[in-house]
Every structure is written in C-alpha cells, then in structure tokens.
Structure 1
Amino acid sequence: METTAFPGWIVRDAATFEQLDLALLDDLDTTVRVRYSSINYKDALALHGRPGVVRRHPLVAGIDLTGEVLASRHPRWQPGDVVTLNGAGLGEDLHGGLAGLAAVNGDDLVRVPAQLGPLRAAAIGTAGLTAALSLLALERQGLAPETGPVLVTGAGGGVGSIAVALLAAARYEVLAATGRPAELSEHLTALGAARVLDRTELTSSGKPLGKQRWAGVVDAVGGPVLAGALAGLQHSGVATTCGLAGGAEFPGNVLPFILRGVSLLGIDSVRTPPLRREAAWQRLTQLLDPALLDSLTRVVPLAEAKDAAASLLAGTGTGRIVVDVASA
C-alpha cells in the first residue's frame, strides 16, 4: 500500500483535523479506502468533545464508512469491493470512518447494493440501518399495516426521517412527531407521514396512560417523549427505542406494560449480528426511494465535518449529512 499519510478527524483532548499516519491504524483484517462517511448524533458528541462515545484516545472519529477494499485477509472480500460499515465499534473502540483510510473487521462489512451506490449507502448509514432494524423488530412482534398507525418520534432527524419513509413505503399509516412541526410539516408529509404531531402532545400531560392512538412506535428520542409515546400505545402495542437526544432518564412507570400489555424493544445497531445487518440492508434496498433519500441528504467535505455536526447538538439538524472524505 503506497499511502502512508491520510487526512482525518482524530480525538485526543479535543477533535482536530490532521494528516494521520498509516501506523495509527489497528491490525485488523481489511483495509478500506474511505470515500464517504456521515454525521450521526454520536459523531457530533465525539467531534465536539462530549463524553460517552470515545472509549480510547487517540481515536479517529466516525461510526460509519463507505468505500473500496484496498487489501483483505478475510475470505469474503477482494480489492475493489465496494463496502459499507455501520457501528461495530467504529468511532468508539475502533478507529472510525472520518478519515481517508480505515482498518476494520471483514465480518462486519456489507456489500453496497448496486441499486444504491456508495453515496446513497453513506446517506443511509447508521441512521438508516437503525430505522430498518426498528421496522424489522416491530414486524417480528406481529405489527402489520392493518394493525394500526405507527408513531415516529424525532421524525426530523436521521433515524426518524428514514423511518418515516420506510414505514410509508411499507404501507403503514405514519404519524410523525417533531419539535418543529411548522418548519418540518411539508417535509415530513413528502416523506410519507399521514400526519405531523407537535411532540408536546406526548409530554404535556405527564400521565402514564392516555388515549390509545397508535399500534407501534419507533422512538429516536428517549426521555419524556418515549414515556408519552408508550402512554398512547394501543393494547398489545409494541415500541422500539434507539436514542437519547431527549435524555437517558425514563420518567415512565409500569402501567402501560401491565394494563395494556405493551412491549418495549431496544435497538442496538452497534453490535448487530451480520445476518441481521444483511436483512436490514435488503429491506432498505427494497423500500427506500433513491430520489426520496437524495432529498434528505446534504454533502459536506471532510474538513467541515465538525462544523456540520453542530446542528445535531443544537437540535436543528434535518435528514442526513454525508461527509465526502475524498474532498478533504
């Protein structure tokens, strides 16, 4: 491999944009030339020095990557294969995707579907994988379009936006909850939402049980919003949860579980087994309209990743931010 230095974001005491040395990378079985990454909430935390994500220092940031295999000792991969990887320790325990090169475990890679291509695969990223895993989890519990509406919280964000689009494409009636209903109503309706709710509808009463309004929930917020979403679940309804932008504390109680028999399922995209990753990507390929995905996506060069991440921390981000790593 001729390259010995490459640009990237590395977290020491703070995240800085530097030329990195090849010797920094871990001795893992597959080396990838990274073409695209993306900005997720975890990346925003890491890039802005917030605790809870980076578990070793120094560490290259970025929980997603998409690019071409340069070299591999893994039997599945050959040089030139176009691959993507979401989570699996990237940007937390392992050097991540916000850099020109990455060394990864071949078991965790997924081949980029030809129908999508690398830029759209990067736009899907961890957010889209999480949304698809949520849909699959709901359906394993028996949810179907005829069961009733599905509520999506944090609908303007990365997970929420893709969840709205996926559920609508799968013929569910989608209720999209956001803290910015006036600003995002037209956008969310275009993604397939049947109705847009102000998230204060979920948090204003504080009661553990409310009117039974939806059969399923995809929650990307946590905190009081999750408690309010559970309060509105129909009997035997099911919810998934995957985020904590609204807080890690859960101010709910057991009443929805013991009086309505609801279920709450946690979604962990980081340690998802390979077969489940493949199933989620198959569903994404089947359901996501590429033009709709494009409408959710903006692209920034690698050097601007930290600035772009600020909108996620401020709660003003919408859709997906793809990082063009080749455009440093």
Structure 2
Amino acid sequence: MFNKRILTLSLVIILAMSAVFISGCANNQEGLTGRVVIDGSSTVYPVTQAIAEEFMKEYPGVRVTVGSSGTGGGFQKYVVGETDINDASRPIGPKEKKLAKKNGIESIPVTVAYDGISVIVNPKNDWAQSMTVKELRQIWKPGSTVKKWSDIRPEWPNKPIDLYGPGTDSGTFDYFTEAINGEEGASRANYTASESDNVLVQGVAGNKYALGYLGYAYYKANKDKLNVVAIDNGAGKSVKPSMKTIGNGTYKPLARPLFFYLNKASLKNKEAVEKFVKFYMKNAKEIVPQVGYVPLSKAKYQSQFDKLDKLAE
C-alpha cells in the first residue's frame, strides 16, 4: 500500500513538472531569440517601452532596446540601418525618406496612438488659464520680442517668462512650430530646450513664471506638478487637452497622430521583429490609454496587424 502511494505521488509530481515545462515552453513561445532595436520619439517612448516590457515577459529570449533620442535623432540612425524601428511624433521628412531609399531601407509607417501637445505652466500660475494660438505665436515665433508675461497681456505679471520646450531633433518641436508658427522648425531660439520631456516637466514645475510644451502623456503623469493651458484656436472656445478632446478632434490645432516606422527588411528577415510589431498591434488598444494617450479603434489596429502579417510573408 505504501509503495502504491509513493508511485501515485511520483506520477503526480512528474505530471505537474511536465505541465510546468510545457507551460514554460509556451511562455517562451518555442524558444524565440533575437534582438529588436528601437529609437526615436520621446513622446512615443512610453508606449513602446511599456509594450516592450510586456513582450519580453512573453518572449524572454528576445531583447528589445528602446531609446529616446527624439524623432529626428532617431531617424538619423534608422535611415542608415542602425535600428529596426523608429518611433516618430511626426511623419518622416523628405530628406530622411531620400536617405532611407539611398541606403536600401523601405519603410512601413504604422500609426500607434493620438496625442495632444500640451502647453504647461506652473501650478502657482493663476493667470494663464487660457491662451490663443495668436498669443502662442507671439511668444514662440522667430525673433519674438516677448520677454515678460505682461508683453502678452498687460494685466498679466510684469515678470520674465521662462520658456521650456523640446529640442530641434524632436518631432514635437516640428509639429508645434508648424501648427503655431506656420512653418516646421520656425521658432525663437532663446529658450531652455531638451529632448527629455522629464527635464521640461522639472523646469516648469520648479518655476512660477515658466511656460513650456510637451506630449499629453507627460502632462497627465505629472498633473500634481503642472497646470495645462486651454487653447483658443479662433473658434471662440478654449479647449484643454484630454482623452475626450484629443479623441474627438476638438483640441485644435495641437492634436496629432503618433507613429513608428518599421524597416521592411527587419520585418521579413527577423522573426523577433515580426513577433514584436504584431504583439504591438494586438496590445496597443489596452496599453496606450494606460500610458496616457488616445488609442485607435480596434478595427484600425486590426487592419494594421493584417497589413504587417501580409508584408511579413
């Protein structure tokens, strides 16, 4: 009887270990290995990084590295083949596209989410609750003579306005300057610039008279340190960025799509890259709002998944 019990227990243990082994193989997705190299937009970075972390839990044999040197800085690496994917908060530019083609890189653009560039001020700022596009242009245009808050509106403080914004490698810089100043890259130069959105957050959070702009997710993650300015685009109503106003298009003119650009050769020749971008499209609907951006519809993510699936053949 005793031996029979031992035998039965042994079989149970063996079966349990087999189940764990099979589960481990399943979690490791048949032992997939490889590397996925990503750089680019600091705005898109939180989405891609969050998805990369989840992907590596399911595929522990794959290493996914995500940089955030800015859209333009990332494209410099992408167009010479140093990365598989470039996160971008603006479409690829003509010069970048030309360089990519010269180096034999065929790009696949993929829309990730929607963002609303947020104009931020210090929580102690109780005067600039709303601003017009014209006033933002007055501040940020090349050669701007605005030095004090009172230069914008006479009733505002006669104090220096300290400006913070993305550097010139940033897609947010490109989009903001075109939307506000009418020309991509057209901006005053005398402001504190950084490719790191966290540096911009800290700068504005620590200065009562500061003003800056960055991606909505960074504002949302730091609501306790910042105030956001409502924007009047001339339609007679001031609108703050939110999941709702970005999603329904009422936050103008600073709502925009976010992308990544995928090297087609990486998709076709690197199984790890193929698995990653498909995983991205399967899980973005859930992860994007957790990060702080507005997701696409389920149908749009699915159509992009289907496109990637076909191109990978």
Q: Greater relative contact order (Cα 8 A, min sep 6): structure 1 or 2?
A: 2
- Structure showing greater radius of gyration is 2
The TM-score normalised by the length of structure 1 is 0.29
Bigger proportion of residues as helix: 2
